[in-house]
Amino acid sequence: MFFSWELFFEAILFGILLGGFYAAVSLGLSVTFGLLDIPHVAHPAVLLMGAYGVFLLGQYGLDPVVAGLLLIPLFFAFGAFFYRIYYSIFESRGGDNVAVNGLAFFFGIAFIIEVLLVIFFGVDQQSAEASYIGGSLELGDLRIPYRLIVAFIVAISAATILSAYLSKTFYGRAIKAVGQDEGALRLMGVNPVSVKTLAFGIGTSVNALAGAVLLIVAPVEPTMDRIYIGRTFCVVVLAGLGSMSGTVFAGLLLGITESIVLMFFGTSWAPAVAFGLLLIMLGLRPQGLFGR
Amino acid sequence: MRFWTVSLLVVLSVIGIALSDANNYFFFAGFVVLQAVVLASAWNILGGYAGYVNFGVPAFVGAGAYTALSLHLSFEAPLVIQILAGAIFSGAVGFLVGLLTVRLRGIFFSIATVSLVFIFETLVMNSSFLGGATGHQLTRPSDIPFFDTYTRYLVVVMVVLAVISVAAARFIQDSFVGRGLRAVRDSEEAAECSGVPTLKLKLLACSVSGALLGAAGAPMPMYLSYIEPASTFNLLYAVSALAMPIIGGMSHWIGPVIGALILATLQQIVTVTISSEMNVLVVGVLLVFFVVVAPDGILGLIKRWKASSK
């Protein structure tokens, strides 16, 4: 292991950029799992679906970020529809093994999406084309890839907009409320099921944009969602379920930790960082750093 | 008594087939199906009875396999010792996972167990003794007791392990342990208040389940004569071990056995006739189908059918 302050600061800088990216891919989960308490283990698979959707539009010459924005309505509709199905199967039915079956359902969906991606796109890695992919900004000795900067900007903007929507608008506040007390919401004359449908739609639609970011940052392949189970859940649990600013902060924390491990111990240890952090967090403080 | 008679008949007939001159591929596939019975029964002890979804099955299987490998590399230990050691090590991991249940339930427990898979995989990848990312090629012992090929011997070993697992699941289900675990599944607080020693029971279930999963993984290096982390720590084990009890039915020990026989046989057929990707799709689709249409599995369907025909 070789240590120098210069390398350390470089690791932190890259960690911050990487962290913005991790926050972006976790935002959707922060809504669906964090606010609605739905065990959405298929989130990384949906995220990957977003990345492949952006890749498909990229074949027609669309810029990844534009493609991601265009896919948002489609993903919103898919998410809302998916929640309706989930609701009619589990939340309205009740019964003996609902908790186990709900989890099993999402694991099954994740694997189905994975195989469908393999069938349609093959097992090879796919990547996007854009002017900012490949080049880098040079600051003295430092070379910062433009794609990380773009990812960071998109991530922070998405988090800011989502956070503002959730705290400033009526329906945004209703979404925040539905996870805490459904009965009280019903008394205010709001239908909890339609609020949850809206929230799940929003949480899914964020994945279109986050998928674009994923594709910009690195090439994607169909089984990649498995490692992102660790990264996204790590960020959301660290953030303390459902806090958007917490999600950004937790993303940065994960990014910086991973970047430091990457720089000083080598890439082969990187996959364990998110899962290790997650396990420690779950063991010591499952309510998260900024938990309710 | 009937249970032990049937078990003995199963073991004896497998030994008989292994001594006959049946096609070798039959044993290659038979090993996988019997291993599935072990995995499903072991998973169900924790998942089905207590309602804790362990999605870290590959971590336990891999821990068993790599414990066996390290014993083989350092002492050329015999297979039985390898399996015992694998079971003990994975059982210890299971005990530690059991301690996590104090704080974690539902999806949090599942995510914690998934984490173990990736952490173990990374540890193995960075260990040159265990072969790192490229894996380890090994030679099987040349002297095989009684049988023509080593695979035939392994199938007999696996059928014994399957009987042990099913017997363990059956014993736990019928004893106060199983009743306590079911109370934990229905309401942990109520169970604790009624004097059920919930933590002790959960620790026991986690250790037994972990040990059996490890024992199922321990013969893997010998079965493949090769071991590498990416396929050993494959999440397909996790989703299969979860799907089999759900397909069969989680409330009774026979459920996972039915599910394992159906799913693993189907997987073998699909892998040979179509492709290994399709095999993943089959698991996913069957899992979702049963969860949606028949949440209590085949056992639930039979019960419903009996009730309606009366």
Where along chain B do its domains lie?
2-309
- Contacts B100 to A, Cβ<8 Å: 282-283
What's the ipTM? 0.86
Q: Do A100 and B235 touch (CB under 8 A)?
A: no
For residue B152, give the nearest of B7, B12, B9, B28 by alpha carbon.
B28
Report yes or no: B43 and B247 within 8 Å, Cβ to Cβ.
no
Give me the CATH topology for the region B2-309: ABC transporter involved in vitamin B12 uptake, BtuC (1.10.3470)
Q: Is A110 helix (H, G, I), strand (E, B) or coil?
A: helix
- Contacts A272 to B, Cβ<8 Å: 118-119, 122-123
Each residue's pLDDT tens digit, A224-280 = 888 888 888 888 888 876 778 888 888 999 999 998 888 888 888 888 888 888 888
Q: Are strands A142-145 and A136-139 parallel, antiparallel or unpaired?
A: antiparallel
Q: Is A157 helix (H, G, I), strand (E, B) or coil?
A: helix
Average pLDDT of B191-200?
84
Task: Kindly compute the dihedral angle of the four CA atoms of residues A230, A235, A240, A245, in this order, to the nearest 10 degrees.
Answer: -160
Q: What is the pTM of this model?
A: 0.90
Each residue's pLDDT tens digit, A46-62 = 999 999 999 998 888 88
B144 band by pLDDT with thresholds 50, 70 and 90: confident
Beta bridge partners of A138: A143
What does the longest C-alpha to C-alpha distance in chain A come to?
A: 63
Q: Do B103 and A286 touch (CB under 8 A)?
A: yes
B88 band by pLDDT with thresholds 50, 70 and 90: very high
Average pLDDT of A92-118?
82
What per-residue confidence (pLDDT) applies to A97? 66
In chain A, where the domains are located: 28-224
Average pLDDT, chain A: 85
Please report the beta strands in B163-261, taking only residues with DSSP state E, as ranges in sequence order.
Answer: 226-227
What per-residue confidence (pLDDT) applies to B3? 85
Q: Do B277 and A272 touch (CB under 8 A)?
A: no
Query: Would the pLDDT of A28 be above 70?
Result: yes
A291 band by pLDDT with thresholds 50, 70 and 90: low
What residues in chain A have their Cβ under 8 A from chain B's Cβ atoms? Answer: 33, 39, 41, 89, 95-97, 99-101, 103-105, 107-112, 114-116, 118-119, 226-227, 229-230, 233, 237, 268-269, 271-272, 275-276, 278-279, 282-283, 286
Spatial distance between the Cα atoms of A78 and A278, rounded to a whole number of angstroms: 29
Average pLDDT of A94-99?
65
Average pLDDT of A178-188?
79
Each residue's pLDDT tens digit, B223-266 = 888 888 888 898 888 989 999 999 998 888 999 999 999 999 99
Listed in sequence order, the residues at least 6 apart from B261 whose beta carbon sits closer than 8 Å to its beta carbon are: B33, B36, B37
For residue A43, give the nearest of A32, A55, A52 by alpha carbon.
A32
Query: Would the pLDDT of A70 be above 80?
Result: yes
Higher model confidence: residue B310 or residue A217? A217
